[in-house]
Chain A
Amino acid sequence: MTTGQKGVLALVIAALLVAAGCLVRGSDEDEEDVIPTATLEDEHEMDDWTAGRLPEEVVEGEPRRGGSLVVRMTVDPPSLNRLVDSDWWGARIAELVYERLVDMDPYDDPDYAYRPVLAESWEESEDGTVFTFKLRRDVSWHDGKPFTAHDVIATFDKVLHPETRSVHVRAYMEELESVEALDDYTVRFTWKQPYALAMSAMGTTIQPGHIIGPMSPSDYNEATSNPLHRRPLGTGPWRFVEWASNRRIVLERNDDYWGRPPYLDRLVFRIVPDNTVALQLTERGEIDLLVGIQPERWVDMTSSYLRENYHRSAHHDSNYSWIGWNQDHPFFRDARVRRALSYLIDRPGIIEHIYYGLPLPANCHFYWRSDACDPSLETLPYDFDTGISLMAEAGWKDTTQDGFLNNEAGQPFRFTFMLPSGNATVQRMATKMREDFRRAGIDMHIQQIEWAGFTRRLREREFDACTLAWSGGHPHGGDPTQIWHSSSIDGGSNYIGYHNEEADRLIEKARVEMDPERRNEMWREFGRIIYGEQPYTWLWTSPRLTLIHNRFRGVRESLMWWQFTDWWVADESEDPVDESAGEVFSDDAAVLEERGGAKESLENDMTSDEADIASDAGDVTLPAEN
């Protein structure tokens, strides 16, 4: 034996000796492990900063002109034409530059009534199929051309044309028969039958007819022939200035705006894809509005600079994360299996420790505060034994004694869980799920795919299970056709291929039901059906975690994101709080009362195909392919 071999042997012996030191005996007493557990502060002991509440004073003071706001943007959008690309960020910019005939009042919680914007007033026929809009006469495009009914006609011509890439908008206009201009300032919409979301469909952002009118549909689709993709031109309070790819998008105040122009001079959307870098830039004061904060950074925000200079907002808006079980996969066709899987995932633990208790448990497709959700639905708990017995009931037992559950054919319960790459928090959830499932004898493999490949597989249903989030759900329910109806399995967003006759029937009935009470009753029934079947494992509603520099005033949380038009920069030295302070808002309130009409509508960008797919629960919204 050579010395080298002796050395190895000695090492092995030493290892065994040390290992003997690890010999453990069971004890007969129950020893309580003393493990320090993280205790959350009592809710009422939290100050505004910790709780993520905006302090009262952010809406106080007298608005003044001037200043600019730097917003962190997470991705470079594919284009700024929201009627072609359904990217979330593109829609945010479009929302500022363009306007609609009518829109929902963002602060009118919980009614979210429609208020006139480009339309001065409207009339609805008795049967709810004909809408006549009177347009404002004092509106002009950012290039100086006047706004008329022809712009509305041109926009709807493009959206309704089957060759434009506006499927996500067109999907809500199936019942629309015609749009016609009665004169330069009157537009009439005729519907084949009453549609609950008619107002929302007619409230599409209007684009300049003198630019898009002469274009062919294919020219309209492409950035090379359609200048609006890179340089949006609207009627809105903000005028587009520049878009430096992967760097920033700049908007400035439109001083010729027909309404009250914004107070701020400029909005700068700075494109910073990396969360860590974005946080560091914020700590240097280079970003005024930071979105996309990871939960662990949120709870552990110790920087005194941030605490002194920023407000925090944790707003649970309309979104929910889910795990989808592909119905094409034979394992997931059995509702008992899907329920069992929901029982076997330690969701409370994940919410508490990976998401630091920030999200709310979700069990409803609609906005969690809306009447379309059934409050009596109980979230399935983490229950190992129930899960195992449900699996056994469905025929999954470990008869082969290999540690994995198998069916009668001896097939082990093995599947792949697809997630978009690059999101650390979702990864953590996936690894925890893998551990939980392994304990139950289910072999789950994690497959991370970058975003473009992920959405392609999603559309082609080339996956076993996946996770995503829907965000931007309508305050009053909306139309789940695109996500849940069996007609949306091919081409729509019913990515998991869910098909249930009863659910289909309810959707078809409810979407044309004009009475909110009866419609909500149908949505609740629909919610009970899908929750019982668990084609999704409902995860949670995440808060939108945001840091806002405290020099801004007029800052209010809303389901429709931030209303920058109402923001101004406080000047502490000359900022007497007087009666005139609230005037700006009281104006708006007056308009609301006047207008409080139809409540039910679907915000376009949330129901649109990819716009709503967020890789995390709404905080990071990734661009759609195309």
Chain B
Amino acid sequence: MSTSESMMTEKKAVAEPAAKTPQGEGPLAKPVKRSYWRMVGRQFWRRRISRVGLYVIALIFLMAFSADFLASDKPVLLHMDGKTWVFPNLTDPSDLRRYDNNTLIDVMGPDDWALMPLVSWWGVNNHDFTAILEAPSRRHLLGTDPSGRDVMTRVIHGTRVSLAVGILAVSIMVVVGVLLGSLAGFYGGKVDAVIMRIVEIFLCIPTMLLIVTVLAILAPSGWWMVVAMMVCIGLTGWTNIARLIRGEIFKVKALEYVQASRALGGSDVRIILRHVIPNSISPVLVSATFGIASAILLEGALSFLGFGIPPDMASWGGILTAARGNISAWWLAIFPGFAIFVTVTAYNLLGEGLRDAIDPRLKT
């Protein structure tokens, strides 16, 4: 269990400051908290399937961050005509604008060399007109779409959109949900009534329709499209989290340590931030993890319907759309579909692992 031990330390290292910073004083509270998160961590780690989920997510993140090194239409290093470019795949220098990897090789002399991207030589929006809708081959490892764009490259770069949508949408959900939910739960009464009515209003807004409308009105382009989508998903999805945390807070606020803090003269803000939220946040984490998975699916669905990401950007749902019109091109459905499946499953495993770890009935 050496790996599990090492991860434990890491987990602690991550969990500790979060629990510690707001604490600061009370030498009594500190060990209690740490042991709670340590217990959750151990419980989580004990299940292999949750560990797998975590590994896969880490791998996907790695892929998203190194996408330009894995697949790009420019080399990673290039020495040409006595000049050396470092990371032209990232900097996209103007001198090399008109070339891609394939045309570069044609113009390179005998003394020139280049370090090529790891997996694919094609850019996200490179149209290889000699290979329209080509099945997987050496030239295009996962085949090409109807415009002759490399599916491998687009699957790799598509992770960025999927992860960004998932994580940012859920961050908005959590921030709004926790804020309003804890206010409602802590104060109860009129505040609660007002906030819960707001929740009900937001519950009535169909996310898909809202996104389509917002995209139609604002008509953003490029990454703003992703941002608009994330905000829409976030702003409609927080209601669940608000209700969850409200319920938890109802339970927690009657407990002795809250009373104690109040007796010691703690302000509302202090009680909410230091005692109530940290003790009721765990179900939110679970719900957030599942939220990421469903946000990724929603992005896929929207791109599939043609409302999502602009067509020059890579997204898994976008590749799937092309599959719909070209049923015989199995590679257009299988690979992005598999990517979505793996990511969503990994997040679900993570969420399940967290839920089981937090559930007190399963504690050992």
Contact = CB atoms under 8 A, between A and B. Distances in A.
A431 B312 CA distance: 5
A22 B105 CA distance: 13
Nearest to A401: B94
Interface in B316-364: 321-322, 324-327
A573 interface: no
B111 A26 contact: yes
A421 interface: yes
B146 A447 contact: no
B326 to A, nearest CB: 7
Contacts of A38: 132
Given A22-B117, A26-B105, A434-B125, A424 B321 contact: yes
Given A18-B118, A22-B116, A428 B221 contact: no
A3 B3 contact: yes
A18 B69 CA distance: 12
B118 A22 contact: yes
B127 interface: yes
B323 to A, nearest CB: 11
A435 B73 CA distance: 12
Interface string B301-327: 000001100111000000001101111
B216 A453 contact: yes
B147 A432 contact: yes
B7 interface: yes
B108 to A, nearest CB: 3
B6 A430 contact: no
Interface string A35-49: 111100000000000
Contacts of B82: none
Contacts of B324: 276
A582 B352 CA distance: 76
A15 B306 contact: no
A133 B76 CA distance: 78
Contacts of A22: 115-118
Nearest to B123: A435
Contacts of A450: 212, 216, 307
Contacts of A497: none
Contacts of B7: 2, 4
Given A4-B7, A19-B76, A439 B97 contact: yes
B216 A354 contact: no
A37 B129 CA distance: 9
A24 B116 contact: yes
Contact of A35 (B130, B307, B312): B130
Contact of B6 (A3, A30, A445): A3
B17 interface: no
Interface in A420-437: 421-422, 424, 427-428, 430-432, 434-435
A223 B92 CA distance: 57
A431 B112 contact: no
A594 B94 CA distance: 68
A36 B132 CA distance: 11
Interface string A1-44: 01110000001000100111011111110100101111000000
B144 to A, nearest CB: 11
B9 A2 contact: yes
Nearest to A33: B102
A449 B219 contact: yes
A349 interface: yes
Interface residues of A, number: 61
A354 B146 CA distance: 8
A526 to B, nearest CB: 34
B10 A430 contact: no
- Which of B94, B127, B321 lies at the interface centre, i.e. has the most chain A CB atoms within 10 A of its CB? B127
- Which of A2, A20, A439, A449 lies at the interface centre, i.e. has the most chain B CB atoms within 10 A of its CB? A2
B311 A446 contact: yes
A424 B323 CA distance: 11
Contacts of A192: none
Contact of A431 (B10, B62, B127): B127
Given A26-B108, A431-B127, A424 B325 contact: yes
A353 B132 contact: yes
A3 B112 CA distance: 40
A449 B112 CA distance: 46
Contacts of B306: 421-422, 424, 448
B129 A398 contact: no
- Which of B131, B146, B324 lies at the interface centre, i.e. has the most chain A CB atoms within 10 A of its CB? B146
A457 interface: yes
- Which of A3, A37, A404, A424 lies at the interface centre, i.e. has the most chain B CB atoms within 10 A of its CB? A424
Contacts of A502: none
Contact of A434 (B92, B107, B312, B322): B312
A435 B125 contact: yes
Contacts of B107: 26
Contacts of A434: 125, 312
B109 A296 contact: no
A389 to B, nearest CB: 14
A447 B220 CA distance: 7
Interface in A436-472: 438-441, 445-450, 452-453, 457
Contacts of B310: 445-448
A558 interface: no
A23 B148 CA distance: 25
Contacts of B106: 30
A441 B93 CA distance: 11
B241 interface: no
Contact of B146 (A4, A11, A424): A424
A403 interface: yes
A352 interface: yes
Nearest to A25: B113
- Which of A3, A24, A416, A418 lies at the interface centre, i.e. has the most chain B CB atoms within 10 A of its CB? A24
A445 B219 CA distance: 11
Given A24-B105, A424-B146, A402 B94 contact: yes
A297 interface: yes
B10 A445 contact: no
A360 B27 CA distance: 81
A441 B114 contact: no
Contacts of A439: 97-98
Contact of A427 (B110, B221, B311): B311
A402 B219 CA distance: 27
Contacts of A121: none
A486 interface: no
Contacts of A226: none
B21 interface: no
A50 interface: no
Contacts of B97: 403, 438-441
Contacts of B127: 353, 431-432, 435
A449 B110 contact: no
A594 to B, nearest CB: 49
Contacts of A353: 127, 129, 132, 148
Given A4-B3, A422-B306, A23 B219 contact: no
Given A2-B10, A424-B325, A428-B147, A24 B113 contact: yes
A275 interface: yes
Nearest to A448: B310
A380 to B, nearest CB: 19
B133 interface: yes
A12 to B, nearest CB: 9
Nearest to B328: A300
A418 B221 CA distance: 10
A294 interface: yes
Q: Which A-B residue pairs are the 7 nearest by beta carbons?
A: A26-B108, A403-B94, A22-B116, A445-B221, A2-B6, A26-B112, A353-B129
21 contacts: A2-B6, A4-B3, A18-B118, A19-B69, A20-B115, A22-B115, A23-B116, A24-B105, A24-B114, A28-B109, A35-B130, A36-B130, A401-B94, A403-B92, A418-B219, A431-B147, A432-B147, A445-B221, A446-B310, A447-B221, A447-B310
Given A23-B114, A26-B109, 9 more contacts: A22-B118, A26-B107, A26-B114, A28-B109, A403-B92, A424-B322, A434-B312, A448-B310, A449-B219
